[in-house]
Amino acid sequence: MTTTAGAATTATTSTRPGIANAVDLTGLTKTFGEVRAVRGIDLAIVPGEVVAFLGPNGAGKTTTIDMILGLAEPTTGTVEVFGLSPQEAVRHGLVSAVMQTGGLLKDLTVRETIDYTASLFPLARPTAEVLDMAGLTDLGDRLVGKCSGGEQQRVRFAMALVCDPQLLILDEPTTGMDVNARRAFWSSIHAEAAKGRTILFATHYLEEADLYADRVVLVRKGRIVADGTSAEIKALGAGRFWLVFLAEPLAAAWAARSSARGVAGIVVTVAFAVAYLWHFHESRGYIFGGSTLTEAHWTPARRTFRYAVVLALTIADTLLVGQAGTSTWVFLAVCGLWTMPMRWAFPVGFALAGTYEGVVRLVDGWSRHAGVSMSILLSMFAMGGGMLAIRRSRDLSAVRQENARLAVEEERGRLARDIHDILGHSLTVITVKAELAGRLLDVDIERARGEIASLETLAREALADVRGAVVGVREISLAGELARAKAALAAAGIDSTIPNAMDDVDPALKELFAWTVRESVTNVVRHSAARHCTITLSPNQIRVTDDGRGVNREDGGAVSGVVGGGNGLRGLRERARLAGATVTTRHLEPSGFEVVVAGR
């Protein structure tokens, strides 16, 4: 966690080399005439984080968001979004925003609004999918002007999701919503965060930051004054609040200010408060289980030194002020939790409480009550429980970010496999047809023209498939793949036996079988040197057999993913696993190869 006093925080940088931060703000300021809205902000947000920008109205939240979105230019400083300028990031569809007001045409229906927004992007999610994600499926035909305030805000949310942004920015999105609308809206946002999307939202509702953010950035008067988890922000306030309990020794010393002992008591009590805050501030990395501060601030030696300073001032305050000075013992016990492991700190705290009970019985004039000893124990349990909760919260946040990173990697793998499957099949057929057209140019010009026209059609289909794969909505049909397989094999001069009927095939397996045809036939055409290929279908099984040379033993027993670690079979096996099916491959004697995919 980071706090500042009149200065900007130190930015957190990405921990994964080569991956740009989602947001990088450096020395950011913004001035409107004589008004300084933003006064030097340094902030870094790593991909997958959910960050709350928390502060009162006029704190500079919206102005900062405007600069992240490229709607305003900073007076000084720089803004980068995924390593790009804000304008470039918006143009590439990497960032979207849900603003407080505006952006809606009241005479359009909800569905027309999403369709119009989708037309602005080269790659956009299907309208039906976006409406479902925003919880607007039942409102698709309603005029926007007839929607409630909460429903209109969900329309803005749907518009922001159209381009499938990596960073979603929300500027006080629930302003004016009732409780139920706010819950429904945040349920949708929570679902997006679970997918690994980076989210930055500005709010003045502490409960929203507490419930939905991995990290809270507290802004006041254009500056970041605290940066950490919600629990850390609360603990920071609590740590300072406890200083009111030093009022008793300070009042006792002030009452004796006419004497040197009283003046010394005032000085020592103030020095104790400073040392307590110093120890808390420098030990935050140890207290909270991680910090933007370097570990050098909270090594055991430095923590022990600071604890020794607090201990010395505790003894001095008790000697100078008397029993009123024992209020510092409560703070000393808590400081023990910031200094040593809990298994040592709690016995030390119990010993301190026992020592107090012994001292009050030995020193004349001290009243015998259990207030201080009980306060020592209760404060230690409260602080210890808070520290454990904060550390668990940090661990949960780290797991959430790791899950988000893995989700992104899995999606990249899916996209890579799909692109491999599409281009592997399409380019193979295009290559074969191009060779055939070349041979036909001097023999049958009309047929050559037909093959070239077919090449153009294939190229367009491949391009459409690539675009579909990128947005994750590409459709593939068994009938279409069987027809393509027949054409591809014929163009390659390979005889084929391919069924025309597929009505008996389990509908749940048709897409998987279509992928099987595409991958298997691609390998037959590309590598097998086969003369014949047979595809056999049954209700829950597909078998693709060829009489070619099978696996090339010299290249490690792998033929373009048919066997071993190739992307094609890896992708097919993954699809089969998700469908509850199995993939089996084997060599045929004396030559040939077989791929069998069977449902369960």
247-255 and 260-282 are packed helices; what angle lies between their axes, rounded to 10 degrees?
Answer: 160
Residue 532 has what pLDDT? Answer: 92
Q: Which two tokens stand for residue 239?
A: 């740590």
Higher-pLDDT residue of 110, 212: 110
**Are 188 and 156 contacting, i.e. CB atoms less than 8 angstroms apart?**
no
DSSP helix/strand/coil, 566: coil
Residue 571 has what pLDDT? Answer: 72
Distance CA 116, CA 139 (A): 16
One-letter-per-residue 3-state SS of 100-165: CCCCCCCCCEHHHHHHHHHCCCCCCCCHHHHHHHCCCHHHCCCEHHHCCHHHHHHHHHHHHHCCCC
Residue 523 has what pLDDT? Answer: 80
The 8-class DSSP code of residue 589 comes to S
Please write the tens of the pLDDT for every residue from 457-475: 777 777 666 655 554 544 5
Q: In the Cβ-directed half-sphere of 596, how many Cα atoms lie within 13 Å?
A: 12
Predicted confidence (pLDDT) at residue 193 exceeds the cutoff of 80: no
CA angle in degrees (0–180, nearest 5) for 528-532-535: 95
Label residues 573-594 b or e (16+ Cβ within 10 Å = b).
eebbeebebebebeeeeeebbb
Q: Which two tokens stand for residue 400?
A: 């959430």
Give the DSSP letter string of 64-108: HHHHHTTSS--SEEEEEETTB-HHHHHHTT-EEEE-SS----TTS
Higher-pLDDT residue of 1, 580: 580
Beta 223-228 vs 215-220: how paired, if at all? antiparallel
What does the pLDDT average to over 545-560?
Answer: 55
Q: Beta partners for 534?
A: 497, 545
Predicted confidence (pLDDT) at residue 417 exceeds the cutoff of 60: yes
What does the pLDDT average to over 157-167?
Answer: 87
CA angle in degrees (0–180, nearest 5) for 161-166-172: 60
Residue 559 has what pLDDT? Answer: 38
10-14, 94-98, 269-273, 282-286: least confident range: 10-14
**Are 380 and 349 contacting, i.e. CB atoms less than 8 angstroms apart?**
yes
Q: Could you tell me the maximum CA-CA distance found in the chain, to the nearest angstrom?
A: 121
Please write the tens of the pLDDT for every residue from 142-158: 999 898 888 888 898 88
Residue 266 has what pLDDT? Answer: 92
Residue 13 has what pLDDT? Answer: 42
What does the pLDDT average to over 513-537?
Answer: 85
Distance CA 542, CA 535 (A): 7
What does the pLDDT average to over 43-56?
Answer: 86
Please write the tens of the pLDDT for every residue from 338-387: 888 888 989 999 999 899 888 888 888 787 766 788 888 888 888 888 77
Distance CA 24, CA 11 (A): 8
Distance CA 521, CA 537 (A): 15
Distance CA 423, CA 417 (A): 10
The number of angstroms, rounded, from the C-alpha of 514 to the middle of its chain's C-alpha atoms is: 34
What does the pLDDT average to over 9-22?
Answer: 50
**Are 478 and 511 contacting, i.e. CB atoms less than 8 angstroms apart?**
yes
For residue 590, cis peptide bond before it (omega within 30 degrees of 0) = yes
Higher-pLDDT residue of 300, 143: 143
DSSP helix/strand/coil, 311: helix
Residue 314 has what pLDDT? Answer: 92
Q: Which amino acid does the sequence have at 10? A: T
DSSP helix/strand/coil, 549: coil
Please write the tens of the pLDDT for every residue from 215-236: 888 888 888 887 877 766 766 6
Predicted confidence (pLDDT) at residue 321 exceeds the cutoff of 50: yes
Q: Which amino acid does the sequence have at 230? A: S
Distance CA 22, CA 192 (A): 16
What does the pLDDT average to over 390-404?
Answer: 68
What does the pLDDT average to over 434-453?
Answer: 79
Q: Beta partners for 213?
A: none
Q: Which two tokens stand for residue 256?
A: 């004796």
Q: Which amino acid does the sequence have at 571? A: G
Q: In the Cβ-directed half-sphere of 285, how many Cα atoms lie within 13 Å?
A: 13
Residue 414 has what pLDDT? Answer: 66
Residue 166 has what pLDDT? Answer: 86
pLDDT above 90: percentage of residues in the chain: 19
Mean pLDDT of the chain: 79
What does the pLDDT average to over 116-134?
Answer: 83
Predicted confidence (pLDDT) at residue 507 exceeds the cutoff of 60: yes
Q: Which amino acid does the sequence have at 394? A: R
- pTM here is 0.51
Please write the tens of the pLDDT for every residue from 573-592: 878 887 889 999 888 888 88
Give the confidence band of 59 by pLDDT, cuts at 50, 70, 90. confident
Q: Indicate the Cα dihedral angle 231, 232, 237, 239, nearest 10°.
A: 110
| Location of structure tokens 């190229």 | 459
Residue 566 has what pLDDT? Answer: 45
What does the pLDDT average to over 14-36?
Answer: 77
pLDDT above 70: percentage of residues in the chain: 80
Q: Which two tokens stand for residue 162?
A: 């159209």
| Location of structure tokens 């001069």 | 493
